[in-house]
Every structure is written in C-alpha cells, then in structure tokens.
Chains A and B, each alone.
Chain A
Amino acid sequence: MMSLFRWKYRYCKARMVAFVNGDLSLRARRRIAHYIDECSKCDDLYTQERRMAQELQDRLHRTKAPDVMQVTRMWSAIQAEMTPVSADKSRSVPYYYQRTRYAVAMMVMVLTMAVTIILGNSSASLAAETTLPEPVNRYTLATTTSPDDNVLVAAATAEPGSTDAVTLSGLNLTLEATPRPVLAPDEN
C-alpha cells in the first residue's frame, strides 16, 4: 500500500508542473486530479506548484514596460540604422559583406606579395644564369715540324680548369703547309 502511494506521488511529481500549466492530456489530468484527492502529499505538491506558477506569472508580468521616452529613443535609433538602406548605397552593404571585402583585399595583397617574391626569386636566378662568366678554354699549342719540311704538325692540349678539357685534350691538329714555291734560277 505504501509503495503504491509512493508510486502515485512520483507520477504526480513528474507531471505536476504540466498539470498546473494545463499542458496534460485529459486522461492524465483526470488521473492526477484523482491522486491529489486521495493523497495528502500529492495535494501539498499541487498547492506548492500552483502557488509557484501564479507567483512567477504575477511577478514576471510586473516587469516594467518601456516608457514613452524609451520607445521613442529606440525607434529613432532603429530608423537611423534603417534609413541608410535606401539613402546611401555604400552604407547599405551589410557588415559581414564589409568583413568579406576586407578579407578579400587582404588575400589579394598577400597573394600579390607572394607572387612578387616568387617571381623576384626566379628572375634573380635567371639573371644569375645570364651573368655567369663565359667558359674559358685555354689551350697550349705545341707545334712540331715533321722531318718533311712541307708538313707542320700542331697539337693543342687543353690547360687544367678549362671547361672543354675532356673534349679537346689530346686533339692533334695537323696543318698542311703550302709548299714554298721553288724559284727558277733565272728569276734570282
């Protein structure tokens, strides 16, 4: 019997606020009303909750409404914020658009700087390539006269440090000298 009352009290407790505010179904309302009639704890709970709801309603409804001055002041401020919508096109842009605009401007600036830096680096490297000193190849020319007077044998040997050392080293140039014309005895 005790547990039944306890169960009923719990049932009431869970739904009492809704009961007081008239938010329950007809069936649940009848059930709780029946429990309130037969259980003193449920009745106390109902009294407390009803008083509480009334008190809250009364006191919250007493909150001061704005006076005429406040209403007028707020309306003037609202109008001041609303008027630029039609009068001044530049002010009609919402704040988040302005923020977006600033963000885009910043991004463009950063991108421009980044591109400038990258291009600057690449042109610098290009310039560096163009200003590289021309490769210097030095050769030591050794000439030897063959036993035959008509033939001059020259050998060009690349000096150390020359860029084309591999290709040119050991190159032997053979020059054919034009035979000196033999003068006739009568011409002397």
Chain B
Amino acid sequence: MSQQNNLHEDENILDMIARGVRGDQSGYSDLYRTYVNGMYRLCCNLLFNEQDAEDVTQEAFVYAFKNLHRYDSRRAAFKTWLYTIAVSRCRNMYRRKRPQLLNLANMFHANLTAPMAERPESVMAERAAQDALVKALGNLSPQLREAVVLRYGHGLTYREIAEVMECPQKTAESRVRLAHGRLRGVLSIHGQGLLQELLSI
C-alpha cells in the first residue's frame, strides 16, 4: 500500500517537473510548495541563521528550476537532487562565514512546545537541552553535521545521504557513527537525563 502511495507521489512529482520543463508556472509553484519546508529546515540546520537559510533556499530553488531539464529521475529522487543543490550552496555559505550559533537557539525556541509549559523548570531544562544540541552541532565538522542532519532531521537513508554528500555509502555510515560518538557526551549531560530530573521535582 505504501509502495503504491510512493509510486503515486513520484508520478505527481514527475508531472510537476514535466510541467516546469515545459515552462508552465504551476509546475514550479507546486514543486516549491512541496519542498520549501524541507529545504528551508535543512538550510537552517546547517547554517544556524534564518536569513542565510532563506537566501540559500531561494538560491537553490532558482538554480534547480533553471536546470530542471537536467534532472534525470533514473539517477536520483527529486528530493535528493534538490538537497544536493541545497547542501552545496550551504557549503559555499559556511565557507564564506562562520555560523552564528545564537540565532539558531532563537529559531528552535520559537517553535518549542514544552511538555509542561506552566512549570518554568521544564522550560528551562528544555532550553538547556536545545542549546546544548545547538552548540554540539555547531562544534561538529560540516561533514558530520550534514550527515546527522540528513539522517535524523530529514530521515534520508544512507544511500540517499551518500548521493547528497557525494561520497560512498560506507563513508556516510561512518560519518553518522562518528557524529553519534561526538554528540553522545554533550547530550547525555544536558539531554534527557537533566530533563527527567527537573520534571520530577
């Protein structure tokens, strides 16, 4: 059943692409609506800055739409192709300037739903955990951060991660494993343990 759904979804995407290639504006707008959230979130997770994320998302879409005729559905899924463009643009961006960690914290908090919002301790604990994650992600090398974000933030398989990051699948796997190792120490201090402790007060 889910395979049928996927097939139907793929057909829809291919139809949008075909319309876009013909120059039909509705094709572009449908593709944009379908992928804008994922693209923007990916850029936010990698760049730690809302304004930069917006710029890169926009730039990646423009590039993708202008080169839509080059997309080959037999080689990769459209989402993977778009993410490859976005990640490449993000790399350019963080080569130009260092990420600003503070902005990401605000960005996360804006959508934060604390489990027990009436208790300030729980909110504080949640924020502390979130800040810890932001810092830990910021301290990771770009390659490890990309691997983690694509795996956990966007649910890509290792094969897809390898396609997006243009590396062998085994390398993608080892990058996720390495990132786990680096993040484990940080999150175990500020993560679930602290949260549980404060919630039980």
**Could you list which residues of chain A lie within 8 angstroms of chain B, going by C-beta atoms?**
17-18, 21, 23, 48-49, 51-53, 55-57, 59-66, 70-71, 73-75, 77-78, 81-82, 85-86, 94
Is the Cβ of A74 less than 8 Å from the Cβ of B57?
A: yes
A169 to B150, CA, bound (A): 100
**Shortest distance in angstroms between B191's beta carbon and chain A's nearest beta carbon?**
5
A21 to B66, CA, bound (A): 36
Is the Cβ of A53 less than 8 Å from the Cβ of B66?
A: no
Chain A residues near B36 (CB-CB < 8 A): 66, 71, 74-75
Within 8 A of A (CB), among B125-170: 129-130, 133, 148-149, 151-153, 157-158
Chain B residues near A17 (CB-CB < 8 A): 173, 176-177, 180
Is the Cβ of A65 less than 8 Å from the Cβ of B54?
A: no
Chain A residues near B58 (CB-CB < 8 A): 74, 77-78
Between A and B, 27 residue pairs with Cβ closer than 8 Å are A17-B173, A17-B176, A21-B151, A23-B173, A48-B188, A49-B180, A51-B192, A52-B187, A55-B133, A55-B187, A56-B183, A56-B187, A57-B153, A59-B108, A62-B111, A62-B112, A62-B130, A63-B107, A63-B108, A64-B107, A64-B108, A65-B37, A65-B111, A74-B36, A74-B57, A75-B36, A78-B58
Identify which of B9-17, B38-46, B71-79, B86-94 touches chain A. Answer: B38-46
A7 to B110, CA, bound (A): 46
Chain B residues near A70 (CB-CB < 8 A): 40, 54
A40 to B32, CA, bound (A): 49
A-contact 0/1 string along B85-116, CB 8 Å cutoff: 00000000000000000000001101111000
A63 to B107, CA, bound (A): 7
Closest to B106 in A: A64
A-contact 0/1 string along B22-37, CB 8 Å cutoff: 0100001100100011
A75 to B23, CA, bound (A): 16
A14 to B66, CA, bound (A): 43
Chain A residues near B112 (CB-CB < 8 A): 62
A13 to B66, CA, bound (A): 46
Chain B residues near A52 (CB-CB < 8 A): 180, 183-184, 187-188, 191
Is the Cβ of B152 less than 8 Å from the Cβ of A82?
A: no
Is the Cβ of B66 less than 8 Å from the Cβ of A48?
A: no
Closest CB pairs A-B (n = 6):
A60-B153, A56-B152, A64-B111, A66-B40, A17-B177, A65-B37
New A-B contacts (9) at CB < 8 Å, excluding given A48-B184, A64-B111, A70-B40:
A18-B177, A53-B152, A56-B183, A59-B129, A63-B107, A63-B111, A65-B41, A78-B61, A94-B66
A49 to B151, CA, bound (A): 14
Is the Cβ of B54 less than 8 Å from the Cβ of A57?
A: no
Chain A residues near B117 (CB-CB < 8 A): none
